[in-house]
Amino acid sequence: MPQILREVPGHIVPGESLASYHDRLDPQRTVEFAMVWRSADEAGLEARLLSGRPLTREELVQDYGWDAFVKEAAVRWLTTEGVHVTHDSAFITWLEGSMAAIETTLQVRFVESGGKFMIAQEPRVPQWLSPAIIGFVGLENVSQLYPGFRSPSRVDALANNGQGFFPMDIQTAYQFPPSDGTGLTIGLLEFSNGYNVEDVGGFWSQFGIPAPSLTFVSVDGTPNDGGVNPWDLEATLDIEWSGAMAPGASLVVYEASAGNQDAAFALSVLKALEYARNDTVNHPNILSISYGDGETRFPIATMHAWDSVVRNSAAIGMTVFVASGDEGAYGLRGPGRPICHVDAPANCPHVVAVGGTHLVVNAAGQIAQETGWTDTNNNGASGGGISQIFPVPSYQEGIRLPVKPGYKRGRGVPDVALNADPDTGYAVLFQGAWTIVGGTSVASPIWAALFARIAQEGLVANRTVLGYVNPRLYVLGPTPAFRPITQGNNSYAGVVGYECTPGWNAVTGWGSPVGEQLAQGLLC
């Protein structure tokens, strides 16, 4: 008896015109992809997250994974026409197959253009399987993520006589607690983005910082290229600044491909997130991601899949920080529709999205002025706005969300902020030379380091700090744990953005941290 098939929505790449694509040429072209499972008890898992009591990895699978007979039936169906299962975990089934086999299995049609591919219609699965899955990731290699760093365009506001901020400047300005992150591990997700150990070691040595433990992990065989390419500045700054701000913490670089002919960048993000979640060797407690693009550039199912892995990570006590982007309310890397866009994966409701500010300190190192990172010279602005993909999460239900006419209510971005304007940027040692860098991609790993320091104090006090921290951050938002940012906006590229206002705003979230006050609030 033939199975009844049901369409699974959310897999079409938004904004891509089929007119510029042709039917796939090689039916045997191999594609890696993944089927991502929902939790078997979505409401129950969300309630457990809100309780603040982390699960073990085993409890997560036992209490919220699907029964073996459901998984086995899915695998039998998937492999009927020649698709192969390369690995099957509790919440993701990793797959590989020729385009012809995938087309037959999922009832789709691949189209191509210049090495890029995507599907032209939504996949179909058996009716009994549809409620159990979020969907598929990797059925396109069109969408891309980009690192979010920028160089200054003027030097008049740079600290240290034009050299940029040093680690002690940021530690002092944001009143970091005296701990150093000992006992915690920060995972940095990088994509075809390597580093030179002499650069990062030289950076720490310059400022008298003991070199943290640094481990490189290739998620998919992608090597560390040694920091020889211009884009390697991203991994370099992530390592240097997270290590400088939490030198007692261990650092782990999770390296994955930025995408190639047969693998999607979106799939690489999924692989890196899931690898880190399951890493029982290095045991990361905190992750930082400094990559993204506007949410309209990704299939909806992809973003929900990313968030599901982040949610599962939060359930076992991990916290994930993501840069909110550097294109203001416009949100897109490169040309696109002149409307408001929120960055992904910063739009995921289970991550802490980190926006940007413009920071000026006085001679004593204290904050003299801090405003929202505003576009004054066509050199970026703090990413932020209202997601049109994810609904309003429970922790934002009580705040005023600045929804513009023609847009719907949704998850507000960012949650928090920190200095990111390249014109008040940071010193970085890259390829043997000192340079200055800004962007929310610096702010995110610094927030990760701050949380490592706070979590260390939590270990001493036997209190849980990490995991799904968003609800607690929103309770602390109106308190002295944050410095509210009430000046500035994130209009950019001709798109009228949002204003910095008292309380939460779509430029800087609750504002920048007052580190010791934040630690007290999270530990009480």
The residues annotated as belonging to the active site are 234, 238, 441
The CA-to-CA distance between both ends of the chain, in Å, stands at: 60
Give the whole-angstrom CA distance, residue 358 versus residue 424. 6
Q: If DSSP states are collapsed to H, E and C, what string results for 389-408?
A: CCCCCHHHCCCCCCCCCCCC
Q: How far does CA 93 lie from the centroid of its chain?
A: 22
Strands 416-419, 352-361: pairing kind: parallel
Q: Is the CB of residue 504 less than 8 Å from the CB of residue 477?
A: yes
Q: Is the CB of residue 369 less than 8 Å from the CB of residue 376?
A: no
Contacts of 18 (CB under 8 A, 6+ apart): 111, 120
Dmax over CA atoms of the chain, in Å, equals: 79
* Inter-axis angle of helices 42-51 and 300-315, nearest 10: 50
| 368-372: long-range pairs with CB below 8 Å, 24+ | 370/419, 370/483, 370/485, 370/512, 371/485, 371/487, 371/488, 371/500, 372/417, 372/485, 372/487, 372/488, 372/489, 372/490, 372/500, 372/505, 372/507, 372/508
105: left (phi over 0), alpha (psi -120 to 50) or beta: alpha
Q: Is the CB of residue 418 less than 8 Å from the CB of residue 174?
A: yes
Structure-token pair, residue 406: 């023609």
- Strands (DSSP E) found in 10-101: 22-23, 30-37, 84-88, 92-98
Nearest one of 181, 201, 243, 271 to 457, comparing CA atoms: 181
Omega cis (within 30) before 14: no
Angle at CA of residue 351, ends 283 and 520, nearest 5°: 80
Q: Is the CB of residue 398 less than 8 Å from the CB of residue 513?
A: no
Structure-token pair, residue 105: 């299995």
Give the whole-angstrom CA distance, residue 160 versus residue 179. 25
Say which DSSP state 165 is in. Answer: B
CA dihedral 9, 15, 19, 24 (to 10 degrees): -50
